Amino acid sequence: MTSVNSLFTPIRLGDLDLANRIIMAPLTRCRAPGHMPNELMQEYYRQRAGAGLIITECTMVMEDTSAFAYEPGIYNQEQIAAWKKITDAVHEAGGKIFMQIWHAGRAAHPKLNGGKKSVSAAAIAIEGGATTPLGHLDYTTPEALSEQGIAEVVAGFRQGAENAKEAGFDGVEIHAANGYLIDQFLRDGSNPRDDLYGGSWHNRVRFLSEIIDAVAEVWTHHRVGVRLSPLNSYNGMQDSNPEALVRYLCAHLNPMDLAYLHIMRSDFLGRQGGDVITIASELYKGNLMVNMGYSPEEAAETIAANRADMVAFGVPFIANPDYPERIRTGAGFNNPDPDTFYTPGAKGYTDYPALSD
């Protein structure tokens, strides 16, 4: 049997010590009606404090940008106070927690946002629609952000980062993946702009860079992570040269001394292949977190071989609140129930048993 020991060596992100390298990936769970964090979420995150680091579900930095109806926000005082209870509970249980700060861009639905139009790099809609707790909603054509609009979103991320700090988080992860707003600028399939924010890699990365700078003014760079999904075609995404984009991003992010770079290795829809992890592990000098479909054994081998520093696990953390402990002891795992991933209430959320139950 492969040793899983490498997963249990501590790691330091800047000045933050993590007890292990088993990270809870950001997971949309749609348990926040009114975009308000609540006691049920507090229990869910507290149960999972054994992760080296919890990264929260994607959380709206600006009002009226909802893509899933019941995702949480971090744009008002009530939300800050409610998140504070969650970070306190995780810290009391010995855990560490980053908030994933997010703007859905063209994946937001006007029907969920008081009729407000969605925004993107360009006026190009995602084909089709999405199933939300309010039923099927077609995607709409977004408004292309003006430079003024871009500055407002950058300010929105900055405010979200400030609010996350007030709410007691240990840091923030900027969601630049999976076809949401920042990713819509990064990849050329959704960004045909010919101004400062489109065209060259440098220009496509400018929006992300401005957000990192704004957020790092609040947090310092070593409390800021960035998540990318260069191969994911989910949300109508494509790029003419994902590998080159990753090379450019690694070189661009290297001097920033971020907490980590978090890369998803494949495509939710299985359409686009490639190996971006080898590129990132060769070129990225800081802490590299990898994600998507790793078994504990493959994760341990990846870390032991210095191909990554941490591995984020998603679905296993849904079904196993004490996932690291189960890996460490070789105990079995609970099976996830996809039917309750996004449904309201405790079922399939806080009722998966821990070994100690």
Residues 263 and 277: their CA atoms lie apart, in Å, by 7
Q: Between 28 and 190, whose beta carbon lies closer to ligand PHB? A: 28
> Smallest distance, Å, CB 178 to ligand PHB?
4
44, 45, 139, 180: the catalytic one is 180
Chain centre distance of CA 137? 23
CA distance 215 to 259: 13
For residue 351, what are its two tokens? 């009722």
Q: Is 177 in the site for ligand PHB (CB under 6 A)?
A: yes
184 binds ligand PHB (CB under 6 A): no
- Asked whether 231 and 265 are in contact (CB, 8 A), the reply is yes
Q: 315, exposed or middle or buried, with CB in 10 Å at 0-12, 13-18, 19+?
A: middle
59 lines the binding site for ligand PHB (CB under 6 A): no
Minimum distance from residue 231 beta carbon to ligand PHB (Å): 14
User: Count of residues binding ligand PHB (CB under 6 A)?
Assistant: 5
d(CA 202, CA 197): 8
CB of 137 to ligand PHB, least distance (A): 13
Kindly tell me which of 183 and 188 has the beta carbon lying closer to ligand PHB. 183
By C-alpha distance, which of 168, 167, 203, 174 is closest to 187?
203
Contact with ligand PHB (CB under 6 A) among 6, 178, 184, 191: 178
Q: Is 235 left (phi over 0), alpha (psi -120 to 50) or beta?
A: left
Q: Among residues 50 and 316, whose Cβ is nearest to ligand PHB?
A: 316
Minimum distance of ligand PHB from residue 175's CB (angstroms) = 6
Q: Which position among 11, 13, 18, 28 is part of the footprint of ligand PHB (CB under 6 A)?
A: 28
For residue 45, indicate whether it is catalytic: no
Q: How far is the CB of 24 from ligand PHB (least distance, A)?
A: 14
- Residue-wise burial string across 34-51, b where 16 or more C-beta atoms lie within 10 A, e elsewhere: ebbbbeebbbbbbbbbbb
Residues that bind ligand PHB (CB under 6 A): 28, 58, 68, 177-178
Active site residues: 180
